Each structure stands twice: as C-alpha cells, then as structure tokens.
Amino acid sequence: MQFGKSSETKIEFNLGEKETLQEVNQGVQGMEYLNSGTSTGDALRRSREEIFNGEGIDRIDAPNVLLLFTDGQATDKQGKQVEQAKKLKDDGVKVITVGMGERETIDNFREKLREMASRDSDSAAPLMFETAFEYLDLIANNLVEEACDTSAAG
C-alpha cells in the first residue's frame, strides 16, 4: 500500500500476485510517488480494514507484519496514527516503522514512530529504524530479520 492524502492511498499490488523477488522489485519500481501529504493514520486504518482483516488478500497461514516507511510527519488528525497502530498491534499485527530522510526531518516525527512501533520481545525497544533514502540498503537486512522474527510484542 502506498499512502499520501486519504483520497490517493491505494493498494499498489498484492504480494500473493508476485512469485519472485524480481517481480516484487518491479512492482515497487512501477509505483508512482504520491507527493500529496502524509495521512498515516488513514493508511494504517485502511491496512487493518483492507489487508489485515482475515479474508481476501490476508494470508491466515502467515504472520501479519506491517513495515511503515514514511518521510514526513502525519498530516491527518493528531494522534490518529498512534491510535490506528495500536488497533493493528492489538489485532496481532507486528508494526515496524522506518523514518526516511535527513535527521532534521525525522526529528519532527521520531516520537510518533516510536509510539506506533511494536516492541522487541527481549529488550522492549521500539521496532523503529531511521535512514536517509540513499542508505536504505544498509538497514535492509535488519528490516528483514525483524519482519521475519515473530516474537515481538505489541
């Protein structure tokens, strides 16, 4: 799912439609960047209602993991993103947040990323990452490890 302002948020493709990593990468590369705001709370609500709902494209045989990549502070109602992330976590979805951009930009929404993220089951640290766009590949392995580890708490 890619999100911007509420009216432009959409499911770009279903992972079940992609059979290889190359197909997934092509799907991601084919996405057009939405430069239209950051309705994070709405995107989380729609993820819960349209993806992690126990039917349709939700695979009941696989753990539910949401990786939230954002480059800006949420523009929807204050606190909505934390409220919606809590609902996802209460439903058993592991939420991993990734702040993208320069440190000064991430400073503006770091605390919300922490509040939205699930907690590591051992350390209780938030499952939150930060990186500049050009360094995303440096944290990719850590993201994969966290996404595949099913022991995180809400």
Residues 118-143, mean pLDDT to the nearest whole number:
92
Q: What is the CATH class of 2-149?
A: alpha beta
Per-residue pLDDT at 154: 67
Domain range annotation of the chain? 2-149
Q: How far apart are CA 77 and CA 81, in angstroms?
A: 8
Per-residue pLDDT at 2: 87
Two tokens, residue 23: 């197909």
Per-residue pLDDT at 14: 81
Q: Sign of the CA dihedral 103, 119, 78, 57?
A: positive
DSSP at 107: T
Q: How far apart are CA 55 and CA 93, in angstroms?
A: 14
How confident is the model over 14-50, as pLDDT tens digits? 877 888 889 988 998 999 888 788 899 999 999 999 9
Give 56 or 140, the one with higher predicted confidence: 140
Exposure string over 82-95, b if 16+ CB within 10 A, otherwise e: bebbeebbeeebbb
Two tokens, residue 90: 């209460």
Give 97 or 72, the one with higher predicted confidence: 97
Q: How confident is the model at residue 55 (pLDDT cuts 50, 70, 90)?
A: confident
Whether 125 has a pLDDT exceeding 80, the answer reads yes
Residues 127-135, mean pLDDT to the nearest whole number:
94
